[in-house]
Chains A and B, each alone.
Chain A
Amino acid sequence: MSEPSKPVLAVTKLTKQFDRLTAVDHIDITVEEGEIYGFLGPNGAGKTTTIKMIAGLLLPGSGSIRICGHDMKQEALACRALTGYIPDRPFLYEKLTGSEYISFIASLYGSGTGSSKQGNAEQYLRLFDLWEWRNNLIESYSHGMRQKLIMSSIFMLDQPLIVVDEPMVGLDPKSARIVKELFKSKARSGTAIFLSTHSMEIAEELCQRISIIRNGSVIASGSVAELKAQATDGIENLEDLFLQLTGSFELQEVVAALRTD
């Protein structure tokens, strides 16, 4: 009998309140080793707040976050060392070159292995067609190039957990395909990936399990098949399911009306 894989990310009863607004309400999530976990929800549902707490950028109101057994509250540094965070609108130092940025990130996570991590970066920069641009200032990069640079800087670190907020924003089809394959390959090698996305296609293609969040609470979770099984008749794909669960199913009628015009 095979051993059950260990949870890389364990979020328990996670809550965050902003004034009177409960942005995240008692969320429980477990992401196993080698698993790609999708986090879906409409705009303003609490996805980015949850992700920021997992990345160690926001203090949780209550509940706990454990990464590879380390508690975020007690061992924040260990948790951050184990987590690669790719934000949806990343900040990059405009006056650094791509290579300098990579060196800087390697030094932050390095602890003596910075040079080997920078060595890893080359393969990702080449994959993303950034190698030729590595010595140009970041201010001359397009939005997609910036996204690819930040992804390269995180992929090179080989951490057990990658947290991604909207991974495909600004990427061309080739790069988007590469990113998907990289996620799959990382997962095969044991990395846990927690990704938030609006793209049902990405979620359906990549994620083994999915949670749908609305108004700060998880309203459904499981594999795509399990979620479809929970839905009412007539649901054929994840998008329909998402619309139904998030209370936007009446949109279908609007779409149908528009198509008949």
Chain B
Amino acid sequence: MNTRLFLPSVRSAKNRFFLTRSRLKVILLGTLGLAICTALFVLTYLSVKYFHSQSELGIILSMKIFQMAWITIFAMLIFSTMIAGVSNLYLSSDNEIVVSAPVRMIELFHMRLYTTFVNTSWMMLIFTLPVFIAFGVVFKAGPLYLPLLVCTIPATALTACGSAMVFVIMLVYLFPARRTKDIIVYLTICFGVFLYLIFRLMRPEDLVNPEKYGQFIEYMSAISNPAGFWLPASWTADLLGSYLLDRQVDLLLLGLIVVTPAVLVFLGEFLMARFFFSGFSKSQESFGGNYRFREPGKSTSPMLWVFRKERIAFLRDSKEWSQFFMIGALVIVYLYNFKVLPLERTFGSVYVANLISFGNIGLSGFLAAALAARFVYPSVGGEGGAFYLIRTAPVSEARFFFYKYLFYLIPFTLLTLILISVSNHFLQIDGPMWWISLFCSLIICWTVVAMALGFGAIFADYHAENKDASMGPGSILYFFCAITYMLIILLAGISPSYRLLRAWFFHRDLPFTDALLIVAWIVSVLALSGFIAVLVCRRGVAAIRAK
């Protein structure tokens, strides 16, 4: 294989690393990554050990979770590779250089496949290893477990990426519509595939719903059956599962797992040589250029124009539209999980529902932080070369920053309100927990949006060619800080919330000390959140001024 096309990405990564500041960042993030790996290992170890120490059902359930983890990761990889694949194959800026050079399509396919594979799978490769190692430790796996993991994790990830790339090439070739339509159609299909994999293959709700089955034996057989044997992820789960339980390596499965990526690479090479150029040529044709928009309004308010600019820059960039589908998928999966929770059957207690509602604050905060990392964080760096307009205009950086914050605050607040009120409705929550979850979620949401904007400004890369490229290590740092902040708020809130709920459950008056504790918690949440938001935003504004 000719490796010349890998030179820019390899050298760019090397040059990035050897810049002093970046190296420090990499070391910092490496340490942070190691800490996360350790935490993942410990958490998985404790949970799997708990299941494993139960009866035979516990072992089957833990194996089912093992299988589900593989299928979920596989589905997510396919979905993210499809989105990354279309932009890497067809919309990359360096296509102008590479496609106009005498480079064979097969070589181009290898480069795009492996760079997409690394970009979309590295996190999965690193963070799944401690999870699966923990399974190995609990099950006291044999000596071949680790070599099997090292072989099957990349092979399965490459199978996911390879199939997604093959799908992308065929899809862009088969739909003779122009670029915008291609992307819409393509993403709709991706979205459908993703939801299908999540809901149909795994049926997570069945695990906690034995009453669905007439006999207990049916339930046992349903959960111990492999899900979707035609799915490469379940081959891997079955291979490792049978080795964990019986120390037997199914050579047929191992062969399938190793050969499938090679077959997909051959298939991809063939399809690339046959169909890529036609799709690439179409992808450059017309991009809404002929569409006439209506006259803009007469408003001269800078705030309204910043709002309008942000809104139309997002809505008119079809590369951003994929995000709608991702948010849609996230919200549906999120709320669906609450809908199918068999509260009355499995737990049967208002107390547990309130506990889940409290945990839901963290979940909605996590979602807000993840979405802010994708949308808010790159919004300052995403101004790119046009940022001089703001710097030279008589609008202060702080004011511009505030307008941006207000703009993103509205959709994030709405999303949080929807997530919290709908999930509380499914959980049949009323009383103080409704207000606690609403208060906490909104405060967390507003703070993480401010943090995303601040970190985004501090680490802004105005030279990045697109928003994806502007998501450097700073976004990961932001994300970890946001999660830490949320954990502090939630951990500090456990005791006051519990006391308030206890008084409400038993229709007692709230003791004075408890009331004082609750007030102190509310004040500290407000003070800490305000302090973090203002501090990070000030740093962000200072960073903008310095650049």
Interface residues of A (CB under 8 A from B): 18-19, 21, 52, 55-59, 76-78, 80-81, 83, 85, 87, 90-91, 93-97, 100, 103-105, 107-109, 111, 137, 139
Contact = CB atoms under 8 A, between A and B. Distances in A.
B105 to A, nearest CB: 9
Contacts of B104: 77
Given A18-B286, A19-B286, A87-B96, A104 B7 contact: yes
Nearest to A100: B11
B12 interface: yes
A83 B8 contact: no
Interface in B263-287: 277-278, 281, 284-286
A81 to B, nearest CB: 4
Nearest to A110: B4
B312 interface: no
Contacts of A93: 8, 12, 94
Nearest to B104: A77
B102 interface: yes
Given A19-B290, A105-B97, A108-B101, A58 B463 contact: no
A104 B277 CA distance: 22
B539 interface: no
Q: Which 9 A-B pairs have the closest CB atoms?
A: A95-B12, A81-B102, A59-B281, A108-B101, A107-B4, A91-B93, A80-B102, A93-B8, A18-B286
A78 B102 CA distance: 7
B140 interface: no
A91 B96 contact: yes
Contacts of B463: 94, 139
Contact of A80 (B7, B101, B285, B465): B101
A18 B285 contact: yes
B11 A80 contact: no
Contact of A57 (B8, B96, B178): B96
9 contacts: A52-B284, A56-B100, A58-B284, A77-B103, A83-B100, A96-B11, A103-B7, A104-B4, A108-B103
A221 to B, nearest CB: 25
Contacts of A94: 12, 463-465
B168 to A, nearest CB: 19
Contacts of B99: 56-57
Given A18-B178, A85-B100, 17 more contacts: A18-B286, A52-B284, A56-B99, A57-B96, A80-B103, A83-B100, A91-B94, A94-B12, A95-B12, A96-B11, A100-B8, A103-B7, A105-B97, A108-B4, A108-B101, A108-B102, A109-B101
A121 to B, nearest CB: 15
Nearest to B462: A139
Interface in B455-470: 463-465
A226 B56 CA distance: 94
**Residues of B in contact with A, size category:** 20 to 34
A18 B283 CA distance: 11
A131 to B, nearest CB: 19
A21 B101 contact: no
A77 B96 contact: no
Interface in B1-55: 4-5, 7-8, 11-13, 15-16
Interface in B86-114: 93-104
B280 to A, nearest CB: 8
A138 B284 CA distance: 26
Interface string B176-200: 0010000000000000000000000
A244 B281 CA distance: 34
- Taking each of A19, A83, A93, A109, which has the highest tally of chain B beta carbons within 10 Å of its own beta carbon? A93
A87 to B, nearest CB: 6
Given A58-B281, A94-B463, A95-B15, A19 B178 contact: yes
Interface of B: 4-5, 7-8, 11-13, 15-16, 93-104, 178, 277-278, 281, 284-286, 290, 463-465
B290 A21 contact: yes
Contacts of A58: 281, 284-285
B218 to A, nearest CB: 57
B102 A109 contact: yes
Nearest to B277: A59
A109 to B, nearest CB: 6
Contacts of A90: 96-97
A87 B285 CA distance: 17
Contacts of B97: 90-91, 105, 108
Nearest to B16: A95
A53 to B, nearest CB: 9
Contacts of A91: 93-94, 96-97, 465
A55 B100 contact: yes
Contact of A77 (B16, B93, B102, B465): B102
A70 B286 CA distance: 29
Nearest to A44: B289
Contacts of B290: 19, 21
Contacts of A100: 7-8, 11
Contacts of A52: 284
B123 to A, nearest CB: 21
A169 to B, nearest CB: 15
Contacts of A83: 100
A95 B8 CA distance: 8
Contacts of B5: 108
A95 B11 contact: yes
A57 B98 CA distance: 10
Nearest to B103: A108
A91 B469 CA distance: 14
A61 to B, nearest CB: 10
A78 B104 CA distance: 11
Highest count of chain A CB atoms <10 Å: which of B13, B15, B102, B104 = B102
Contacts of A137: 15
Contacts of B16: 95
A19 to B, nearest CB: 6
Contacts of A81: 102
B94 A57 contact: no
Contacts of A56: 99-100
A83 B99 CA distance: 12
Contacts of A108: 4-5, 97-98, 101-103
Nearest to A79: B102
A146 to B, nearest CB: 12
Contacts of B98: 108
Contacts of B464: 94
A221 B15 CA distance: 49
A28 to B, nearest CB: 22
Contacts of B95: 57
Contacts of B7: 100, 103-104, 107
B445 to A, nearest CB: 34
A19 B522 CA distance: 60
A137 B11 CA distance: 11
A76 B99 CA distance: 10
Contacts of A103: 7
Contacts of A76: 277
B286 to A, nearest CB: 5
A93 B11 CA distance: 10
B10 to A, nearest CB: 10
A13 B110 CA distance: 35
